[in-house]
Structures are given as structure tokens and as C-alpha cells.
A and B are shown apart, each in its own frame.
Chain A
Amino acid sequence: DQQVKQNSPSLSVQEGRISILNCDYTNSMFDYFLWYKKYPAEGPTFLISISSIKDKNEDGRFTVFLNKSAKHLSLHIVPSQPGDSAVYFCAASLRGGGSNYKLTFGKGTLLTVNP
């Protein structure tokens, strides 16, 4: 049973437009959510995170929105740049105890930004 779902394997957008990457989760115990970016032949790089007590977190061109009632989060990139082309992973962690250190990842979405 996949607890973190990224239903779009790929997304293509034009340079300068908005990219919206979506993520759904099923476990209501998740209390912290993270987005990672991964280029080919490299390890994932932390991008932005959000606590479950917030509904929005912004860092430059990147904004993450959290809708707890819908168990849905999204990553907005504005404006999109060709260098943003990569695989984006959504990840979540559980509150409390030994689960604090374990991240559950989605399968990833390949974003392609066309010049």
C-alpha cells in the first residue's frame, strides 16, 4: 500500500510558466512533508519542507501548499526555468518516537521545462 502518491509520472511546461507538482498521502499520522529534486546520476537534493501545522511555505521561486483535509500537497515553481528539469520526489515522515527518522517517498515526477 503506497502511502505517498505522485500520480503524474511526468510534467512538461514552458519556460517562464508555473509548474505545479502534486502529491497525495493516505496516512493521517504524517506530520512533516518534504520535496526533493534529483538530477540524473546525482543524489536527491532537499528543496523545501512544510510542517502539518502550516498550510503554506515559500522559498524564493518555490512554494509548497498543504491541504490536510484532502491529504494533498503541491509544489509550485514560478517562474519555471530549464535548470528546474529534474525528477521531483515528495516525502513524508511520521510524528513521534522512532519513526521520526524515516521518510516515505513517492515515486517521483519528471519535470521538463522547455526553453
Chain B
Amino acid sequence: NAGVTQTPKFQVLKTGQSMTLQCAQDMNHEYMSWYRQDPGMGLRLIHYSVGAGITDQGEVPNGYNVSRSTTEDFPLRLLSAAPSQTSVYFCASSYSRGRGGYTFGSGTRLTVV
């Protein structure tokens, strides 16, 4: 059981470039989310999805797009990378909000230069 798989683990982008962070889960979880972690800021919600075809914005959605065409996959797209998007990105999934909490991936460390 792989859980939540994020790729790539590391990425360096130039300002203005676009890229997609991949997230896949094999637990048949309905809920999936993207968070970013910055020093001294904890984890902040970017976008989330409650099922295939349904997405919504979190706390810091600007500069990011998501889609959920299947239950398993929830990619995060950076449209035009900016240095402010340098961060560690975590994808998470869950059956429900309460019991057992979210299962997190191991993260993608992104640097925008």
C-alpha cells in the first residue's frame, strides 16, 4: 500500500516557468488537499477536493490551479512560478475529516529562482 505519492521530491524552477506537482493516492479516499509549509508559518491550505470533479479554494490559492478527474489523482499546477512560491508542498487525502485525520505525502521541495 503506497499511500500518498508525490512527485517530484525536489524541483528548481526559473521565475515565470510553469509546472505540475503530481499527487496520487491508492486508498480510495474522497478528500484530497494541497498544503504549503513555509518557515514559521505552519501548513496553509492551497486547494482541496471532496471528490472527482469537485475542487475548491483554500487559504492561499493564488497562482495555483487544480483539477480532479479521477479519485486517485490531484495534480497542482503552478501557472507562472514566482519566488514567493518557494516552499515545501504537501498533498494529503482522507476518508473523512475527523476519523484518523489526513494521510500526507512526503512532500515536494520547490525552489523558484
**In this assembly, does A51 line the interface, its C-beta being within 8 Å of a C-beta of chain B?**
yes
**In this assembly, does B104 line the interface, its C-beta being within 8 Å of a C-beta of chain A?**
yes
Nearest CB in chain B: distance from A42 CB, A: 6
Nearest CB in chain A: distance from B2 CB, A: 13
Assess A43 versus B106: contact at CB under 8 Å? Given A101-B31, A101-B50, A107-B41: yes
Complex Cα gap A4–B59 (Å): 14
Number of interface residues of B (CB under 8 A): 30
Interface string of B33-45 (1 = CB under 8 A from A): 1010000111111
Option from B31, B50, B90 in Cβ contact (under 8 Å) with A43: B90
Assess A102 versus B48: contact at CB under 8 Å? Given A32-B97, A107-B42: yes
| B106–A89 touching, CB < 8 Å | no
Interface string of B80-105 (1 = CB under 8 A from A): 00000000001010101111111111
Complex Cα gap A97–B98 (Å): 14
Interface string of B41-71 (1 = CB under 8 A from A): 1111100101000001011000000000000
Interface string of A68-109 (1 = CB under 8 A from B): 000000000000000000000101010000101111111110
Q: Interface residues, chain A, CB within 8 Å of chain B?
A: 4, 6, 32, 34, 36, 41-46, 49, 51, 89, 91, 93, 98, 100-108
Q: Interface residues, chain B, CB within 8 Å of chain A?
A: 4, 31, 33, 35, 40-45, 48, 50, 56, 58-59, 90, 92, 94, 96-107
